[in-house]
């Protein structure tokens, strides 16, 4: 199962793309990180895709909260140029480089990237 947090039009496309790649894959999408966190507490997920820029909490805070709940779930973080990037790197100092996804990225490359790590 996959989680994805971002803007609605992007989450809809990502959901369709991942589910079309694997008919057994169920993708949950959320556009509000607090709603997503509430559902994350109740579910079991193989990996999470999230963006650094979100409101009312940002990706750094969401990442910390996810790690408090599940230390083993794979978390991929989308990032572009962000003024808080260095803060993020400190918070996620043990975070493996393979889990950073640089935007912009094509849908095909995103699928290949995630598949190479977790599928």
Say yes or no to pLDDT of 29 above 70: yes
> 18 phi and psi, to 5 degrees?
-65, -45
Are residues 79 and 101 in contact, defined by beta-carbon separation less than 8 angstroms?
Answer: yes
Say yes or no to pLDDT of 5 above 80: no
Beta-bridge partners for 4: 29, 49
More confident residue, 80 or 31: 31
Say yes or no to pLDDT of 37 above 90: yes
Can you tell me the distance from the alpha carbon of 53 to that of 67, in angstroms, rounded to the nearest whole number? 18
Q: Say whether domain 2-110 belongs to CATH 3.40.50.2300.
A: yes
Are residues 27 and 15 in contact, defined by beta-carbon separation less than 8 angstroms?
Answer: yes
> 50 phi and psi, to 5 degrees?
-145, 160
Can you tell me the distance from the alpha carbon of 113 to that of 110, in angstroms, rounded to the nearest whole number? 5
Judge if pTM exceeds 0.85.
no
The 10 Å Cβ neighbour count of residue 60 is 20
pLDDT digits (tens, 9 = 90+) for 47-94: 999 888 788 998 888 988 998 999 889 888 887 666 666 666 676 666
């Amino acid at each position: 199962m996959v989680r994805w947090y971002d803007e609605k039009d992007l989450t809809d496309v990502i959901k369709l793309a991942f589910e079309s790649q694997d008919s057994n894959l169920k993708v949950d999408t959320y556009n509000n990180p607090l709603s997503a966190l509430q559902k994350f507490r109740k579910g079991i997920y193989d990996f999470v895709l999230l963006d650094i820029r979100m409101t009312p909490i940002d990706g750094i805070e969401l990442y910390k909260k996810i790690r408090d709940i599940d230390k083993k779930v794979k978390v991929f973080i989308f990032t572009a140029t962000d003024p808080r990037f260095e803060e993020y790197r400190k918070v996620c100092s043990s975070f493996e480089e393979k889990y950073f996804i640089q935007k912009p990225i094509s849908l095909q490359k995103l699928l290949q990237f995630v598949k190479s790590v977790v599928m």
